[in-house]
Amino acid sequence: MAAALPLARTAPAPAPRPRRLRFALVFTVVIAAVSGADGSWLWNDPYTSEPHGGVFLFGFYLLFGHLAALLHLPMIAAYHLARITGAIALVLAAERLCRRLLPPERANLGLVLVVLGSGAGFLAQAAGNPAIFGTQVEALDLHLPELSGWYSILAIPHFAWATALIVAALLGLLRIMEAPGWRPLALTALALIALTAIHPQMIPVLAVIWVAYRVVLLLWGQRLSWRALAAEAAAFAATLPLLAYNAWILFRDPTIAEWAHQWRHQAPGPVSLVVSLGLPLLLAIVGMTVAWRRRDQGLALLLVWPPLVVVLLYLPNLANIQRRLLDALFVPIGILAAVGLTSLTARLRRARARRIQVMLVTVCCLSSMIVLAIALRFASGAFAEAYVNDDAWQAMAWLSSHHQAGDRALSAPGAGQLLPAWAGVPVYVGHYSETLDYFQKIRNVGAVLDPGEPDSAVQTFLAANRLTLLYWGPDEAATGFHPDDHAYLHQVFRHGTVTIYRVTGG
């Protein structure tokens, strides 16, 4: 009888849980895609009054807006979700790159310098921003988030995510170069497409960097694999439809074209840039020398990056976005700085080398500490202009649930920056960069709200710009205009110093 028993029990059938899980994930993505704060994947500029249709721009924030609706999160919570996840993505991506390109004992040092490394612009600020070679030196590292990993993480989520995607794409390209296959190709293409939706200008920059890297390797004697080259080209080619769409709306959509024309993203002064990259840049130059002398095939990718970006930065740019080419520059500088620092201290005794490294890393990170101190200072309530007072908050909270479809508000620029975000109401004039012809519109508001302006002129202006609401707070009251004296302005809300009027036929 015992011999008739099976030698081993039959393995149970696999549970269908993974399939159910996959279905749930796909279903979640579909639901997120078709729902959202406004249910749209097209962006409209709420800070300007010119009529325009929706376009697919700022996909990163549209995505998080849909996630906010799906998860029933306030928009501010969705913003911090984007910021925190961006921080995690940036640090993890940078850590993987450091582990790949640096010896294990240098990887953590490289990661610290990538994330926290910063320049010495604070010295220029302390000296009163002196002029050198006829140009005033600016503390760029204290107000340009793209120069610092830490500042990007702290202030602008899509900068952090763009950097993470840049690093992920480069890691993918390195994998393709070593062993071409559909999986690294697909993942790299996805990273590049996602990057295109955030910062499309970085796709040609990465392409130039990658081609230069391939040329350096060829000069160093590496044999070419046509299969790998084809796969690398295919990963970049996957971005072409979205790049073409971006170029089309940038140059052919009249409203977007005018909006882009007024961008102020010109290249910073060379002296300011060098000072604001500071000691990490000097150490990175040492690291570049070491990498070139050793013909380090991994570090060669980082070696070509900063010089090429500097060249592209000061070449003419049709899109007027030279400064935006600085994205993720702190990555090669931080890793190469780690190479340079350990090279300079390699001949010292271990304890002495460690002390010098700690001292220099601290100096490298001073501006990041200052940025954090500034942020904490704002958070402490020391600057009243950083906060919305209760009267304005109550007015916008009321307006967010009582405005009508098609409403557009007239206000001073200060309130105009807040109304689209907190009340969901487009404005005539608001953000300096998003409002078309911003300074002329400020003058227009001053003229139309002049106490001596005839009612007919005011009504004509309101009708021509499709303005249905008047937001009236302390800044607006300073014009001397009295809304209560005009029959075509009907008060619909008042709280303290803020009143909201609806424009009627009056």
The rounded distance, in Å, linking the Cα atoms of 389 and 81 is: 25
Supply the pLDDT for residue 355: 94
Number of helical H runs and strand E runs in the chain: 22, 6
Q: What is the pLDDT of residue 482?
A: 93
Distance of CA 355 to the CA centre of its chain: 36
Q: Where are the alpha helices (DSSP H) in 345-431?
A: 350-364, 366-379, 390-402, 413-422
Beta bridge partners of 490: 502
Query: 200-228 burial, b if ≥16 CB within 10 A, otherwise e?
Result: bbbbebbebbbebbbebbeeeeeeeeeeb
Q: Which residues of the chain are under the pLDDT cut of 70?
A: 1-39, 264, 319, 506
Count of C-beta atoms within a 10 Å radius of residue 247:
13
For residue 30, the model assigns a pLDDT of 54
Q: Which amino acid is at 6?
A: P
State pTM to two decimals: 0.87
pLDDT of residue 506: 57
Max intra-chain CA distance, the chain: 111
Report yes or no: 317 and 120 within 8 Å, Cβ to Cβ.
Answer: no
pLDDT confidence of residue 261:
76
Residue 280 in tokens: 């990490």
For 27, the token pair is: 């279903």
Q: Residue 495: what pLDDT?
A: 95
Instruction: State which amino acid sits at residue 178.
Output: E
**pLDDT recorded at residue 1:** 36
| HSE toward the beta carbon, residue 292, CA cutoff 13 A | 9
Q: d(Cα 159, Cα 141) in Å, to the nearest integer?
A: 15
